[in-house]
Amino acid sequence: MIREIDVKLLTEEISKLCIQATHFLSQDMVDAFQKAYEKERKPLAKEILSQLQENLSIAGEDMIPICQDTGMAVIFMEVGQDVHFVGGDLYEAINKGVAKGYTEGYLRKSVVEDPLLRVNTKDNTPAVIHYSVVPGDQVKITLAPKGFGSENMSKVYMLKPADGKEGVVNSILDAISAAGPNACPPLVIGAGLGGDFELAAKMAKHALTLPVEYHSPKEHIAEIEREVFEKANQLNIGPAGLGGDTTVLAVHIESFPTHIAGMPLAVNMCCHVNRHASVVI
Amino acid sequence: MRKEIQLPLTKEQAKTLKAGDMCFATGVLYTARDAAHKRMYDSLLNGEEIPISLEETALYYLGPTPAREGNVIGSAGPTTASRMDKYTPLLLGKGVSAVIGKGKRNEEVHRAIKEHGAVYFAAIGGAGALLSKCIKKAEVIAYDDLGTEAIRRLEVEQLPVVVIIDTMGNDYYEMVEKE
């Protein structure tokens, strides 16, 4: 049975998600801050964590975006194969939603029309859209506004099979060390392991949308997540890069089969403002 | 150490600040990020006038969100300073005494800070809602066409900033790394 969905509905929902994601973090992120605050031993780091918690409260109460970099809108569209979109062009409807959300929500317009000519598009469009087709007749939209302070510190490594688990752990830790204070720690790390060059990067971005407490169902991958988490928090980068026990709040790795000759690894950095919001239509 | 400082920062006062000092800044500063920096830099190289005086001026690397009705400004935290590295030595040479951003700076900026007796401060990245409460007045004074990247004159009270690079060239991030 084909289900018809009017694309105007998507425009409305996406506009709401833009405002929600930039003003409120998900509860698991709020809890992660509290847990980090309780564990942190360095006084200055504790003070900064408490200021970041206060920042979250102010953002929600006064409707001031958590961070002034309200990001480029990254959208994961999981479209049920029994869905038929009607009422207009899907791509346009999605971008209309982004434009509406960023304009009506007093969000910053941070997108330029051309990477070299750099003229602002003034409504934060276009969004970066990743589509996947899944069974069913529903559409799940996940919107993750991505700030570029942390995006700029992200990396793709084309590791060799011989690099093994150690190579994966060390590469992620190297990326975290290189990011240092620039990416606004404490960080959330999204990694994509396997697949090919671009799938690794896409998995890394998607991994940032996973709940803090979620771990890979593959035990050997979950082990890497835990090891990177422990070791990263011994790097003494700390909140705002001023030292401390809290350098990362979460580490997530998504993996996919890969080629006999390779082991791509992408590391997508996210600052402590790890924003994402979803809706199912 | 905790210190109260006045902006614009005099070169005299700059000398009293040490890497790692937590400062609460009150006074006047100007916002400028990538596009405004490039425009000022190009103008200066072409011998043209720029819209603000740089003598003992404080620059804040900020592109805020739009203000809601009744608010002075929107979310207003620092952006990554290293993107301004190309332009900073020239601006310091023209008299800028304080720059506020976040993250590491390159060798040239370290040298220029020492040479000109300036200070690089970091504000807390990602705390734009909290920091906006320290901003009491905001007005676009130049490069209006750049939108969020326009130059704004801000009046701030008790803006919390940490001295990262002091006038002697000491770098607090490097000191923390060696701890």
- Distance between CA atoms of A215 and A223, rounded to whole angstroms? 9
Give the structural domain span for A227.
149-273
Looking at the fold, whether A266 and A203 belong to one and the same domain comes out as yes
Interface of A with B in 167-196 (CB under 8 A): 180-184
B162 touches chain A (CB under 8 A): yes
- Looking at the structure of chain A, the number of domains it has is 2
Q: Output the DSSP codes for A86-150.
A: ESS-HHHHHHHHHHHHHHHTT-----BSSTTT--B-SS-PPPEEEEEEESSS-EEEEEEEE-HHH
CATH number of the domain enclosing B8: 3.20.130.10
- Distance between CA atoms of A29 and B107, rounded to whole angstroms? 36
Assigned domain for A73 exists:
yes
Looking at the fold, whether A138 and A226 belong to one and the same domain comes out as no
Give the confidence band of A1 by pLDDT, cuts at 50, 70, 90.
Answer: confident
| Among A180, A256, A205, residue whose Cα is nearest residue A75 | A205
Question: Which of these three, A99, A123, A146, is where a domain ends?
Answer: A146
Out of A58, A65, A242, whose CB is closest to B65? Answer: A65
Cβ–Cβ gap B103/A149 under 8 Å: yes
Out of B77, B173, B176, whose CB is closest to A67? Answer: B77
B79 touches chain A (CB under 8 A): yes
pLDDT in tens, A2-49: 999 999 999 999 999 999 999 999 999 999 999 999 999 999 999 999
Which residue in A51, A68, A146, A176 has the most chain B C-beta atoms within 10 A of its own C-beta, making it the best mutation to test that interface? A68
Out of B68, B148, B176, whose CB is closest to A243? Answer: B176
What is the average pLDDT across A51-74?
A: 96
pLDDT in tens, A71-100: 999 999 999 999 999 999 999 999 999 999
Question: Which of these three, A123, A146, A169, is where a domain ends?
Answer: A146
Instruction: Count other C-beta atoms under 10 Å from residue B142's C-beta.
Output: 18
B176 interaction partners in chain A (CB closer than 8 Å): 236-238, 241-243
Cβ–Cβ gap B71/A64 under 8 Å: yes
- Looking at the structure of chain B, the number of domains it has is 1
Looking at the fold, whether A209 and A158 belong to one and the same domain comes out as yes
Looking at the fold, whether A157 and A168 belong to one and the same domain comes out as yes
- Distance between CA atoms of B111 and B179, rounded to whole angstroms? 23
**Distances in Å between the alpha carbon of B115 and those of A193, B5, B79, B112?**
46, 22, 24, 5
CATH number of the domain enclosing A190: 3.30.1330
Assigned domain for A216 exists:
yes
> Across the strands, what pairs with A195?
A258
- Distance between CA atoms of A13 and A93, rounded to whole angstroms? 10
Looking at the fold, whether A168 and A84 belong to one and the same domain comes out as no
Assigned domain for A85 exists:
yes
Assigned domain for A223 exists:
yes
The complex scores an ipTM of 0.92
Looking at the fold, whether A155 and A142 belong to one and the same domain comes out as no
Task: State the pLDDT at residue B178.
Answer: 85
Looking at the fold, whether A119 and A201 belong to one and the same domain comes out as no
A109 interaction partners in chain B (CB closer than 8 Å): 147-148
Cβ–Cβ gap A51/B160 under 8 Å: yes
The whole-angstrom distance between B6's CA and the closest CA on chain A is: 22
Looking at the fold, whether A7 and A138 belong to one and the same domain comes out as yes
Assigned domain for A210 exists:
yes
Give the confidence band of A254 by pLDDT, cuts at 50, 70, 90.
Answer: very high
CB contact at 8 A, A70 and A102: yes
Looking at the fold, whether A166 and A264 belong to one and the same domain comes out as yes
Looking at the fold, whether A8 and A142 belong to one and the same domain comes out as yes
- Distance between CA atoms of B24 and A60, rounded to whole angstroms? 25
Task: State the pLDDT at residue B177.
Answer: 87
What is the average pLDDT across A101-109?
A: 97
Question: Which of these three, A146, A161, A176, is where a domain ends?
Answer: A146
3-class DSSP assignment, residue B44: helix
Tokens in use for A59? 């953002």
3-class DSSP assignment, residue B15: helix
The whole-angstrom distance between A25's CA and the closest CA on chain B is: 13
Instruction: Count other C-beta atoms under 10 Å from residue A75's C-beta.
Output: 22
Tokens in use for A264? 């791509």
Mean model confidence pLDDT for chain B: 96
pLDDT for residue A233 is more than 90: yes
CB contact at 8 A, B94 and B37: no
Interface of A with B in 39-68 (CB under 8 A): 44, 48, 51-52, 54-56, 58-59, 62-68
Assigned domain for A37 exists:
no
A16-20: long-range pairs with CB below 8 Å, 24+: A16/A101, A16/A279, A17/A97, A17/A101, A17/A141, A17/A143, A17/A277, A17/A278, A17/A279, A18/A73, A18/A97, A18/A98, A18/A100, A18/A101, A18/A102, A18/A105, A18/A107, A18/A143, A18/A145, A19/A101, A19/A104, A19/A105, A19/A107, A20/A277
Looking at the fold, whether A88 and A17 belong to one and the same domain comes out as yes
Assigned domain for A30 exists:
no
Assigned domain for A38 exists:
no
Looking at the fold, whether A121 and A212 belong to one and the same domain comes out as no
Give the structural domain span for B21.
2-178
B133 touches chain A (CB under 8 A): yes
Out of B130, B132, B177, whose CB is closest to A54? Answer: B130
